[in-house]
């Protein structure tokens, strides 16, 4: 069984769109429908929602590579200049199709990052067949959410209001709207099958709405709406053996979407979230027994960083966080979601079990400290050729979910086909030492990479583990 995003590679052929809620709606009446009511239609809801759902077309130019061009001996023999991947090779345009939802009358659209990742051009098609170019306002890879803005939009567009996704209950009826397989606007219905799914592995913030509404490739970024016509989630992924819908789909809750949109509206290019200043781990049955906890649920504090919000709130290693502002926390993923959706400023009240009794801790909702990142791409002949690096800070460590380090030099990205890529460097790797010298700033690694060394002794930290390697050449 594989987890698949809804995005699929399709030609720019199909056009679809979706919808707006015009005016307040009554609260959803939760009850078993009568036989007469079963003959009723969802059409009124669809008519309100459909105009605010759009098709998102993304195109990017990729360089076709010949593997021989990566061989320096081949390049030297034929006199091909430049680094790996340069000099020869044709270009090809890759196109993809997904969905999006207008969430502001000015033309602000939410979709998935994987729909528009790497795109050189983005267009959106509305339900009325009009097509607009769109600018990427913000990309938040941690949630797989992106915010677009319609260019040259001199009108008010139909849009969807956000629902309170925390008010959802298992069994609630929902509608999924998108453009599966590029066939055009499609509406399916189902129920909320489960809430707070945290073991899905799609994004950093794993806290998904599960639904059995039929969703397929092309639905990425589309709307999951309730029967009041409000947006309860953004459809993101499915469990599937065949690539098609098998009744298990996942949506990002509207309360998380709201946070990302608010950052885009404020003019930010990155989402600002509260920082705890502590490392958390799951509570196993064995740890629960040792702590005297009856149920193995909660987020266990593994360590607390000095002078961070957690330290100032009095949290200690071994504390078990079981709630945030009265909302239960079953594991670290649930805590991350609850804490990340809190507005900055003020404080959050944590329920904490310590020594067998529950206490309260008030944690300030503040961002992690940052420093100038001084991002550079290594272009010197070395094992780091093609690696984009930055100075690590608590803010960047939190963004990249780096474990085991809060300062030093971290890999942000690696060029495909570069030496760094071929040697296995990954985003989030902390380069701790090179040839016995500690790497504290990007300037340190840039200087060392320019040295003509035949042997490189490198220590990196990956997912909290130190890895040592020696490269020759």
- Catalytic residue, candidates 96, 99, 114, 245: 114
Least confident of 30-39, 83-92, 159-168, 209-218: 83-92
Question: What pLDDT, on a 0 to 100 scale, did the predictor assign at position 361?
Answer: 95
pTM over 0.85: no
**Cβ contacts of 54 within 8 Å, gap of 6 or more:** 16, 17, 18, 99, 100, 101, 102, 109, 124, 125, 126, 127
Interatomic CA distance for residues 435 and 457, integer angstroms: 5
Q: Which residues pair with 252 in a beta bridge?
A: 234
Q: How does residue 460 score in pLDDT terms, banded at 50, 70 and 90? A: very high
Q: Which helix (H) or strand (E) holds 345?
A: none
Residue among 315, 373, 168 nearest 254 (CA): 168
Please confirm, yes or no, whether 220 is among the known catalytic residues: yes
Interatomic CA distance for residues 20 and 223, integer angstroms: 11
CATH architecture classification, 1-25+41-268: Beta Barrel (2.40)
Question: What is the average per-residue pLDDT within 410-429?
Answer: 91
Query: Tokens 């290019």 appear where?
Result: 269
Question: What pLDDT, on a 0 to 100 scale, did the predictor assign at position 269?
Answer: 79
Please confirm, yes or no, whether 128 is among the known catalytic residues: no
Question: What pLDDT, on a 0 to 100 scale, did the predictor assign at position 85?
Answer: 46
Q: Is the pLDDT of residue 81 over 60?
A: no
Q: Is the pLDDT of residue 355 over 50?
A: yes
b/e 192-229 (16+ beta carbons within 10 angstroms → b): bbebbbbebebbbbbbbbbbbbbbbbbbbbbbbbbbbb
Least confident of 17-26, 56-65, 114-123: 17-26
Higher-pLDDT residue of 84 and 284 is 284
- Catalytic residue, candidates 140, 144, 336, 429: 144
Higher-pLDDT residue of 101 and 30 is 101
Q: Is the pLDDT of residue 235 over 80?
A: yes
**Cβ contacts of 282 within 8 Å, gap of 6 or more:** 299, 300, 331, 332
Query: Is 265 in a helix, a strand, or coil?
Result: helix
**Helices assigned H by DSSP within 50-120:** 72-77, 113-116
Interatomic CA distance for residues 128 and 16, integer angstroms: 8
Residue among 47, 53, 41, 454 nearest 221 (CA): 53
Question: What pLDDT, on a 0 to 100 scale, did the predictor assign at position 217?
Answer: 78
Question: What pLDDT, on a 0 to 100 scale, did the predictor assign at position 245?
Answer: 57
How confident is the model over 259-269, as pLDDT tens digits? 999 999 988 77
**Cα dist. 119→57, 97, 146 in Å?**
9, 11, 12
Q: Do domains 278-364 and 376-472 have the same CATH topology?
A: yes
Output the average pLDDT for the chain: 83
Least confident of 107-121, 132-146, 154-168, 192-206: 192-206
Q: Is the pLDDT of residue 356 over 90?
A: no
Domain residue spans of the chain = 1-25+41-268, 278-364, 376-472
Question: What pLDDT, on a 0 to 100 scale, did the predictor assign at position 182?
Answer: 72
- Catalytic residue, candidates 220, 323, 393, 421: 220
Interatomic CA distance for residues 62 and 472, integer angstroms: 31
Q: Is the pLDDT of residue 77 over 70?
A: no
Question: What pLDDT, on a 0 to 100 scale, did the predictor assign at position 12?
Answer: 30
How confident is the model over 289-340, as pLDDT tens digits? 887 787 888 999 998 988 899 999 999 999 999 999 999 999 998 999 999 9
Q: Is the pLDDT of residue 22 over 60?
A: no
Please confirm, yes or no, whether 398 is among the known catalytic residues: no
CATH classification of 376-472 is 3.40.50.300, yes or no?
A: no
- Structure-token pair, residue 4: 């698949």
Higher-pLDDT residue of 384 and 453 is 384
Q: Is the pLDDT of residue 31 over 90?
A: no
Higher-pLDDT residue of 34 and 241 is 34
- Structure-token pair, residue 34: 């009568």
Question: What pLDDT, on a 0 to 100 scale, did the predictor assign at position 444?
Answer: 92
Name the percent of the chain lying above pLDDT 90. 44
Q: Is the pLDDT of residue 19 over 50?
A: no
Overall fold of domain 278-364: Pdz3 Domain (2.30.42)
**Helices assigned H by DSSP within 266-340:** 285-291, 309-312, 332-340
Q: How does residue 463 score in pLDDT terms, banded at 50, 70 and 90? A: confident
């Amino acid at each position: 069984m594989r987890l698949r995003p809804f995005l699929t590679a399709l030609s720019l052929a199909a056009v679809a769109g979706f919808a707006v809620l015009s005016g307040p709606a009554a609260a959803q009446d939760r009850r078993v429908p009568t036989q007469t009511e079963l003959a009723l239609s969802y059409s009124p809801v669809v008519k309100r929602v459909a105009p605010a759902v759009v098709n998102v077309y993304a195109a990017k130019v990729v360089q076709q590579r010949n593997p021989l061009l990566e061989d320096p001996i081949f390049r030297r023999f034929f006199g091909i200049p430049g680094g790996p991947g340069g000099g020869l090779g044709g270009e090809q345009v890759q196109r993809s199709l997904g969905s999006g939802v207008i969430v502001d009358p000015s033309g602000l659209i939410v979709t998935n990052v994987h729909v528009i990742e790497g795109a050189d051009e983005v267009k959106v098609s509305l339900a009325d067949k009009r097509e607009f170019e769109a600018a990427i306002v913000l990309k938040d890879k941690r949630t797989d959410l992106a915010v677009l803005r319609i260019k040259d939009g001199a009108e008010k567009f139909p849009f969807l209001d956000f629902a309170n996704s925390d008010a959802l209950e298992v069994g609630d009826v929902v509608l999924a709207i998108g453009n599966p397989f590029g066939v055009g606007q499609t509406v399916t219905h189902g129920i909320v099958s489960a809430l707070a799914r945290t073991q899905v592995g799609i994004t950093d913030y794993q806290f998904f709405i599960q639904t059995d509404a039929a969703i397929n490739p092309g639905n990425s970024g589309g709307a999951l709406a309730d029967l009041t016509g409000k947006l309860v989630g953004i459809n993101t992924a499915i469990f599937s053996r065949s690539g098609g819908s098998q009744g298990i789909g996942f949506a990002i809750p509207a309360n998380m979407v709201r946070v990302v949109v608010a950052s885009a509206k404020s003019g930010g290019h990155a989402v600002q979230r509260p920082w705890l200043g502590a490392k958390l781990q799951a509570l196993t049955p064995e740890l629960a027994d040792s702590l005297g906890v009856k149920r193995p649920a909660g987020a266990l504090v593994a360590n607390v960083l000095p002078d961070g919000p957690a330290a100032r709130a009095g949290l200690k290693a071994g504390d078990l966080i079981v709630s945030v502002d009265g909302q239960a926390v079953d594991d670290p993923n649930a805590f991350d979601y609850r804490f990340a959706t809190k507005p900055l400023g003020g404080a959050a009240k944590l329920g904490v079990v310590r020594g067998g009794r529950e206490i309260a801790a008030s944690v300030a909702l503040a961002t992690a400290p940052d420093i100038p990142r001084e991002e550079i791409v290594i272009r010197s002949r070395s094992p780091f050729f093609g690696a984009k690096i930055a100075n690590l800070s608590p803010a960047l460590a939190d963004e990249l979910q780096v474990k085991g380090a809060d300062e030093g030099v971290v890999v942000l990205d690696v060029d495909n086909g570069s030496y760094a890529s071929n040697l296995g460097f990954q985003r989030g790797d902390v380069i701790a030492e090179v040839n016995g010298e500690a790497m504290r700033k990007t300037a340190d690694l840039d200087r060392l990479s320019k040295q003509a060394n035949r042997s490189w002794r490198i220590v990196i930290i990956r997912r909290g583990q130190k890895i040592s390697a020696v490269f020759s050449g």
